[in-house]
């Protein structure tokens, strides 16, 4: 396998419109969630991490954000490479405005035009794990020498379908995001556009060592302990590492009462000594299909700039795991995980070069 | 360049008129509240596996699923429900294409890498699958609900690279029963037909 480097990254999320803004906001504390409302008896007001960027309509806002984030990642150097668009909601926000039809090809054509992209394009939707699976697929393609450059673009923007669906499933918190928290009561959703530019010919501070996606049919709407363990084992094996070599795990820890407990149990089963853990959900919300790319972009920048996300509230001691209050002294290998709908458990391993 | 043995196939464009009854027989019961698109996915995938003579996928196999319109019908229903209030929870789940991957995984007592790729043609999807495929190979499908429905699948297993007897093929020709091996060379699909394969094996002897 050829080494695959994280050659560029870009991010727009509730913390800011680029990585520098986001790091500055993180240093000052977590982003303040706005609220979003959904109709009906089970509806109401829910906290929501919106990107602080207004535009006249969904398409114009998406275009500007995609172009900004891709430019921040250096996408202009990669336009003949492979583009992986990752999303769980496509442009359903524009459909809701009557400005688009439900048409996958029209959606990808729109983004291709915005980026003036001329290489092959894939649109991956595995719900919350979409951009992590896009990263794993891109890594395999580049590692096999099939391609030299790729851009993984996670796009998850405001729409009624996602918020209404999660509210209907009673998965949303009415208060705040509390990863592994004692009083956790659900997810706080958020928006993000994130880009990870991968290259086999441009060395960079991080490389992608491997990854794994494990779909488990036993819990179609959540995580399962055997699948979490299987995911870590496969990701480590694909990266040629042992569990003892892991210095930091970026967990899902979305604040879901059930899923956080399953994830914690899986961590304890997969690691003899659970490595330091970090969660970014309280900082930027759960950004669904964009979350894998968004959290890797932010975390890798945090580790380089010695910025650390604040832990939100009291951790649930019964889970047997805790979030690191500060960055570990030395971090060479990081596992970034996202657990999602469709029984999907995904993990990517990053190695500091 | 990777070469695959085509172990099984399902070409159902459109599926037979009794496909739902066939699916119920394969599952042992009528599927409940998973949506027509997901039912078509299940029908084609299980038919393909039966054609390959397999009931379970090997743990290192992968599932790749693509569609031009995927769960649009289910999504339209939920957008309608959102006009008045919250959608029905199961209706919302039907809007997520990846939900059916979990159903397939459960049915095949399998857990592994499965991915939905929107509107991807055969060569493109094969390129992704080939980059990650282990010895267990892949189950690859294209499923749509519109125009009477279609559910087309291939069960592929990696094979030793064979240089002889491959000819360029259209995506449709890949599904032909006499296509026994499949190669992706750059973006060109090539197949080896049964007669050519047996000749090649004789030469090898």
Q: Is residue B149 part of a domain?
A: yes
* Domain harbouring B110, CATH code: 3.40.47.10
Mutation site for B-interface testing, chosen from A344, A345, A346, A348 by largest number of B Cβ within 10 Å: A344
Does the structure show a pLDDT above 80 at A178?
Answer: yes
Section A317-332 average pLDDT: 95
Mutation site for B-interface testing, chosen from A92, A95, A134, A217 by largest number of B Cβ within 10 Å: A217
A215 touches chain B (CB under 8 A): yes
pLDDT digits (tens, 9 = 90+) for A279-303: 999 999 999 999 999 999 999 999 9
Poorest-confidence range of A267-276, B94-103, B187-196?
B187-196
The answer, yes or no, to whether the previous bond of B33 is cis (omega within 30 of 0) is: no
Q: Is residue B96 part of a domain?
A: yes
Counted domains in chain B: 1
pLDDT category at B197 given cuts 50, 70, 90 is: low
B72 touches chain A (CB under 8 A): yes
Section A112-141 average pLDDT: 98
Closest CA in chain A for residue B129: A137
pTM: 0.96
| Residues B91, A280, A202, B129, Cα dihedral to 10° | -30
Section B142-154 average pLDDT: 96
B167 touches chain A (CB under 8 A): no
Does the structure show a pLDDT above 50 at B34?
Answer: yes
pLDDT digits (tens, 9 = 90+) for A70-99: 999 999 999 999 999 999 999 999 998 999
A105 touches chain B (CB under 8 A): yes
B88 touches chain A (CB under 8 A): yes
A120–B93 C-beta distance less than 8 A: no
Contacts of B85 in chain A (CB under 8 A): 39-43
- Chain B nearest-CA distance from A347, in A, is 11
A341–B117 C-beta distance less than 8 A: no
* CA angle (A235, A237, A240) in 5-degree steps: 110
B112–A215 C-beta distance less than 8 A: yes
Paired with A181 in beta bridges are A315
B63 touches chain A (CB under 8 A): yes
Report d(CA A287, CA B96) in Å as an integer: 16
Tokens of A190: 């958020």
The arrangement of secondary structure in A4-199, i.e. its CATH architecture, is 3-Layer(aba) Sandwich (3.40)
Number of residues written out for chain B: 205
Helices marked H in chain A — which ranges?
Answer: 19-27, 58-72, 92-96, 104-115, 130-143, 160-168, 225-239, 257-270, 281-284, 291-305
pLDDT digits (tens, 9 = 90+) for A214-234: 999 887 778 999 999 999 999
- Chain A nearest-CA distance from B31, in A, is 15
> What are the CB-based long-range contacts (under 8 Å, 24+) for B11-14?
B11/B152, B11/B175, B12/B43, B12/B44, B12/B47, B12/B149, B12/B150, B12/B151, B12/B152, B13/B149, B13/B150, B13/B151, B13/B152, B14/B147, B14/B148, B14/B149, B14/B150
Instruction: Give the closest of A102, A107, A126 to B115, CB-based.
Output: A126
Closest CA in chain A for residue B120: A122
A160 touches chain B (CB under 8 A): yes
Mean pLDDT score of chain A: 95
Residue span of the structural domain in which B20 resides: 10-153
Give the pLDDT of residue B199: 56
Tokens of B94: 């039907």
ipTM (interface pTM): 0.96
Contacts of B132 in chain A (CB under 8 A): 136-137, 140
Q: Is residue B25 part of a domain?
A: yes
Contacts of B67 in chain A (CB under 8 A): 104
Q: Which single residue is written with the structure tokens 């339209």?
A: B76
Q: Is residue B83 part of a domain?
A: yes
Domain spanning A206-352: which CATH class is it, in words? alpha beta
């Amino acid at each position: 396998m050829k080494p695959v480097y994280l050659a560029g990254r870009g991010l727009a999320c509730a913390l800011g419109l680029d990585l520098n803004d986001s790091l500055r906001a993180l240093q000052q504390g977590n982003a303040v969630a706005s609220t979003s409302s959904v109709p009906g008896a089970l509806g109401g007001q829910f906290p929501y991490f919106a990107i602080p960027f207004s535009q006249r309509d969904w398409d114009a806002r998406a275009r500007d954000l995609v172009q900004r984030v891709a430019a921040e990642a250096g996408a202009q150097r990669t336009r003949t490479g492979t583009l992986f668009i990752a999303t769980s909601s496509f442009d359903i926000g524009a459909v809701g405005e009557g400005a688009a039809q439900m048409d996958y090809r029209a959606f990808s054509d729109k983004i291709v035009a915005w980026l003036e992209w001329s290489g092959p394009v894939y649109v991956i939707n595995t719900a919350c794990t979409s951009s992590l699976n896009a990263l794993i697929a891109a890594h395999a393609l580049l590692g096999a020498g099939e391609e030299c450059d790729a851009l993984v673009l996670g796009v998850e923007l405001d729409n009624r379908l996602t918020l209404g669906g999660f509210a209907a499933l009673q998965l949303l918190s009415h208060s705040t995001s509390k990863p592994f928290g004692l009083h956790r009561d659900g997810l706080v959703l958020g928006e993000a556009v994130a880009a990870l530019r991968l290259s086999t010919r441009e060395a960079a501070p991080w490389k992608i060592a491997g990854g794994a996606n494990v779909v488990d049919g036993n819990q179609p709407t959540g995580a399962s302990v055997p699948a979490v363990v299987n995911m870590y084992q496969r990701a480590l094996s694909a990266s040629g590492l042992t569990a003892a070599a892991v210095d930091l795990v970026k967990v899902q820890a979305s604040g879901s009462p059930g899923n956080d407990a399953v994830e914690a149990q899986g961590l304890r089963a997969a690691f003899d000594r659970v490595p330091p853990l970090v969660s970014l959900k309280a900082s930027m919300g759960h950004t669904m299909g964009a979350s894998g790319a968004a959290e890797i972009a932010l975390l890798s920048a945090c580790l380089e700039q010695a910025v650390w996300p604040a832990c939100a509230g009291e951790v649930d001691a019964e889970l047997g795991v805790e979030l690191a209050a500060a960055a570990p002294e030395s971090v060479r290998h990081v596992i970034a995980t996202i657990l999602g709908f469709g029984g999907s458990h995904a993990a990517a391993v990053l190695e500091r070069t | 360049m990777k070469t695959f043995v085509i172990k099984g196939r399902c070409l159902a464009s459109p599926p037979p008129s009794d496909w739902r009854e066939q699916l119920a027989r394969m599952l042992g019961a009528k599927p409940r509240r998973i949506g027509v698109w997901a039912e078509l996915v299940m029908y084609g995938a299980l038919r393909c596996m039966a054609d390959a003579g397999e009931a379970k996928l090997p743990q290192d196999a992968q599932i790749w699923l693509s569609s031009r319109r995927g769960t649009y019908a289910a999504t339209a229903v939920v957008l309608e429900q959102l006009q008045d209030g919250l959608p029905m929870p199961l209706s919302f789940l039907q809007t997520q294409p990846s939900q059916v991957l979990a159903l397939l995984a459960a049915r095949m007592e399998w857990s592994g890498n499965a991915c939905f790729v929107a509107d991807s043609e055969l060569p493109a999807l094969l390129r992704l699958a080939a980059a990650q495929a282990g010895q267990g190979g892949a189950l690859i499908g294209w499923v749509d609900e519109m125009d009477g429905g279609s559910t087309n699948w291939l069960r592929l297993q990696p094979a030793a690279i064979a240089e002889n007897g491959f000819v360029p093929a259209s995506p449709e020709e890949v599904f032909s029963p006499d296509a026994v091996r499949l190669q992706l060379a750059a973006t060109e699909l090539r197949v080896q037909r049964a007669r050519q394969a047996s000749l090649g094996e004789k030469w090898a002897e």
